[in-house]
Amino acid sequence: MIVGITIITVSILVNQITKETFSKNNPGLDAVVGAKGSPLQLVLSSIHHVDVPTGNISYKNAQKIIRHPAIKSAIPISLGDNFQNFRIVGTNKKFLKLYNANLISGTTWSKPMQAVIGYNVSKITKLKLNKFFVGSHGLIDTGDIHAEQPYKVVGVLNKTGTILDNLILTSLESVWSLHTDENKNKLEITSLLLKYKNKTSSFSFPRLINKGTNMQAASPSFEISKLLKLTGNAHRIVDYLSVLIMLLSFLGILFTLLNNINERKYDLAILRTLGFSRWKLFSIILSEGMIISIVGSTIGLIFGYLVYESMHYFSIVGRSIELGQLNFLNDLFLIWITVNIIAFITCLVPCIKVYKQNIRTTLLNS
Amino acid sequence: MFICDDISFDIDGQNLFSNINLNLKPQKDLLITGPSGVGKTTLLSILCGIQKPTTGKVTYNNINIYDLAENKVDDFRGKNLGVVFQNFNLINSFTVKQNLEIAASAIGTKNSNLFFDLLDRVGLADKSHLKVSNLSIGEKQRLAVARAFIGEPKWIFCDEPTSSLDDKNANIIINLIKEESLRCKASLILITHDNRIQSLINFSKILRLGEEL
């Protein structure tokens, strides 16, 4: 029972929190424009900051999109470096507004090589205001560092519960100064995060980009729902497996109790002769079964929560998608109740057997 | 007042006994005797509300126990009757004290001094922590007697309490039963074919099963 509940708890938590996290990480963006390739990869790398980008696009071309009449807002981002596996994102200050981020201390950047760090970055790397750090080339720590141009921490962000907590933000110019020759015509960015003026553009604009340019426009909500559908099938298999394990545990409780009362039928008959009524013995056996069930399902729930918390901890350390903080989920409570109702019904079988016991025959046979 | 009115019992269509009529005043003792196989133990089960008779009534102070709901019969037996079974019917996996505690909890008594006094009187005070399986036959019998008196019942039933004991232990057990019955002001209904007992207790009535009544 403990194993079954643990698996189903982790499955539900991960399933729900993943959905929640994906939705939290996307603050209403309608599209991401980037280099051609997998649209899911583009969305994952530009919004959720997992996976590598599909490539770079010309900043000159990006500016044409920014000025397009269908676009309400466009935020350029440029990836390429990391510090202790936390991604360094070149962008503009609108990026902070996108996530309603506030500074705990310091200010935003005002010149190149100044950086604002997310809450988890500051907590884990121990970087503080006015400290310097050097970026490492690539999106994971390879040791290939840009020692000649260190960043200075000028601001630390409040916790947002989004991917922003795991990012280091700086100006586009900082990234360009490390990676390009600053020839304005050759400047590149990784992608553009877009909001349309009108939702009807979500049909026409991507077509315009996908067919008329060497770039692609991907819809974050569409790509993520495709991904969740795929992972949802895996979750369902895990859920079926845990239901099977729980069914086996109910049978376990049933046979344990039946075996117990079979071994103790003589003692139970003695208790009747001493004055314990049928109902009293019925309730004792029922209590035994329910204690096993309640303790088992509660331990399973706690184990599931601990496994989830470990995953949560390692997801921060591993800089992947942050699973978000747990709020007690109604689904888990519902499962706990359902498991114990089924256990209650299962326990009735041995209880009825005890209730119907003929004490005279039992004592004589013993 | 304990009254048996026209008790009969059939087993597999065969009559084991019939027309059993008894009338026992408070604090009077009854001996039920007879050869093996005549149904003495079955009669005791009927009198204690463990086995329903084929016909007849068993009345304690105007309460016919077979008119009570089944749950109430168990409750009535626990609170009003003490039973010493032939094979003791002790819980072997429990200690001496636990056997008394479980009997006390069946009737809602929680007085630990009572356990100690009882064990002291039956000579098992220093063995209260021992498991029943580690006791001798005589000690088990004394524990079974102690348990029967835990609720200070008004009717005590003993089934062959001395059948497996030597003379010395038989005397101890019978004296113990007599003393505890007097202390509780209880009527003693004793089943035996052991002739030693008849010389030790002054029974006001004797029922000889298997003989013409």
Q: Measured between CB atoms, which of A278, A363, A366 is closest to B74? A: A278
| A178 and A200 together in one domain | yes
| A161 and A270 together in one domain | no
Cross-chain residue pair A274–B103, CB shorter than 8 Å:
yes
* Cα A273 from Cα B74, distance rounded (Å): 7
| A147 and A263 together in one domain | no
Nearest CA in chain B to A267: B91
Write down the pLDDT at residue A292.
87
Neighbours of B21 (CB within 10 A): 12
Q: Which residues of B touch A363 (CB under 8 A)?
A: 50, 85, 89
Span between the terminal Cα atoms of chain B, in Å: 22
| A248 and A290 together in one domain | yes
Nearest to A142 by CA among A90, A190, A82, A87: A82
Cross-chain residue pair B103–A363, CB shorter than 8 Å:
no
Nearest CA in chain B to A274: B78
The average pLDDT across A124-131 equals 92
Is the pLDDT confidence value at B164 over 80?
A: no
**Count of the separate structural domains present in chain B:** 1
User: Is residue A2 a part of any domain in this protein?
Assistant: no
Whether B40 has its CB under 8 Å from any CB of chain A: the answer is no
Whether A284 has its CB under 8 Å from any CB of chain B: the answer is no
The average pLDDT across A75-98 equals 92
- Cα B164 vs. chain centroid, distance in angstroms? 16
User: Is residue B213 a part of any domain in this protein?
Assistant: no
Q: How close A246 comes to chain B (CA, Å)?
A: 32
Encoded tokens for A213: 């340019």
User: Is residue A19 a part of any domain in this protein?
Assistant: no
pLDDT, one tens digit per residue, over B20-43 is: 999 999 989 999 998 888 899 999
**Count of the separate structural domains present in chain A:** 2
Nearest CA in chain B to A276: B106
Nearest to A219 by CA among A44, A43, A89, A351: A43
The average pLDDT across B83-89 equals 92
Whether B125 has its CB under 8 Å from any CB of chain A: the answer is no
Is the pLDDT confidence value at A223 over 50?
A: yes
Whether A361 has its CB under 8 Å from any CB of chain B: the answer is no
Strands (E), chain A: 31-35, 57-58, 71-83, 86-91, 103-106, 114-117, 132-133, 136-137, 151-157, 167-171, 188-189, 191-196, 215-218
The average pLDDT across B163-185 equals 87
Helix (H, G, I), strand (E, B) or coil at A306: helix
| A197 and A238 together in one domain | no
Write down the pLDDT at residue A319.
46
Cross-chain residue pair A278–B103, CB shorter than 8 Å:
no
The sign of the dihedral angle between the CA atoms of A151, A152, A157, A161 is: positive
* Cα A34 from Cα B22, distance rounded (Å): 104
Write down the pLDDT at residue A317.
47
User: Is residue A15 a part of any domain in this protein?
Assistant: no
| A257 and A172 together in one domain | no
Write down the pLDDT at residue A182.
60
User: Is residue A17 a part of any domain in this protein?
Assistant: no
Cross-chain residue pair A275–B91, CB shorter than 8 Å:
no
User: Is residue A61 a part of any domain in this protein?
Assistant: yes
Q: What is the mean pLDDT of chain B?
A: 89
Cross-chain residue pair A274–B102, CB shorter than 8 Å:
yes
Q: Which residues of A touch B79 (CB under 8 A)?
A: 275
Q: Which residues of B touch A280 (CB under 8 A)?
A: 74
Nearest to B103 by CA among B86, B116, B90: B90
User: Is residue A24 a part of any domain in this protein?
Assistant: no
Q: Which residues of B touch A361 (CB under 8 A)?
A: none
Nearest CA in chain B to A282: B71
Per the DSSP assignment, residues forming a β-bridge with A222 are: none
Cross-chain residue pair B75–A277, CB shorter than 8 Å:
yes
User: Is residue A310 a part of any domain in this protein?
Assistant: yes
pLDDT, one tens digit per residue, over A161-190 is: 888 999 999 999 998 888 766 666 678 999
Show the CA angle centred on residue B56, arms to residues B78 and B49, nearest 5°.
15
**Of A185, A218, A251, at which residue does a domain stop?**
A218
Number of A:B CB contacts under 8 A? 51
CB-based contact A313:A15 (threshold 8 Å): no
CB-based contact A10:A190 (threshold 8 Å): no
- Cα A135 vs. chain centroid, distance in angstroms? 27
Q: DSSP label at A145?
A: B
Cross-chain residue pair A278–B70, CB shorter than 8 Å:
yes
Supply the CATH number for residue B127's domain.
Answer: 3.40.50.300
| A246 and A209 together in one domain | no
Chosen from B45, B89, B149 to mutate, greatest number of chain A CBs within 10 A: B89
Q: Between the CA of residue A362 and those of A6, A249, B157, what are the distances in Å?
A: 41, 30, 19
Helix (H, G, I), strand (E, B) or coil at B148: helix
Is the pLDDT confidence value at B166 over 60?
A: yes
> Around B193, how many Cα atoms within 13 Å sit in the side-chain half-sphere?
10
Is the pLDDT confidence value at A329 over 70?
A: no
Lowest mean per-residue pLDDT among A7-11, A77-81, A199-203: A7-11
Cross-chain residue pair B83–A359, CB shorter than 8 Å:
no
- Per the model's pLDDT, the better-predicted residue between A23 and B145 turns out to be B145
User: Is residue B162 a part of any domain in this protein?
Assistant: yes
| A111 and A175 together in one domain | yes
Neighbours of A190 (CB within 10 A): 26
Write down the pLDDT at residue B213.
46
| A309 and A260 together in one domain | yes
Per the structure, the complete domain to which residue B168 belongs is given by: 2-208
Residue type, A237: I
Q: DSSP label at B99?
A: H
Cross-chain residue pair A270–B79, CB shorter than 8 Å:
no
Q: What is the DSSP string of A89-135?
A: EEE-THHHHHTT--EEEE----STTEEEE-HHHHHHH---TT-EE--
Q: What is the mean pLDDT of chain A?
A: 85
Write down the pLDDT at residue A320.
47
* Cα B37 from Cα B31, distance rounded (Å): 17
Q: How confident is the model at residue B209 (pLDDT cuts 50, 70, 90)?
A: confident
Cross-chain residue pair B106–A278, CB shorter than 8 Å:
no
The average pLDDT across B131-139 equals 93
Per the structure, the complete domain to which residue A360 belongs is given by: 230-365
Residue type, A366: S
Write down the pLDDT at residue B37.
86
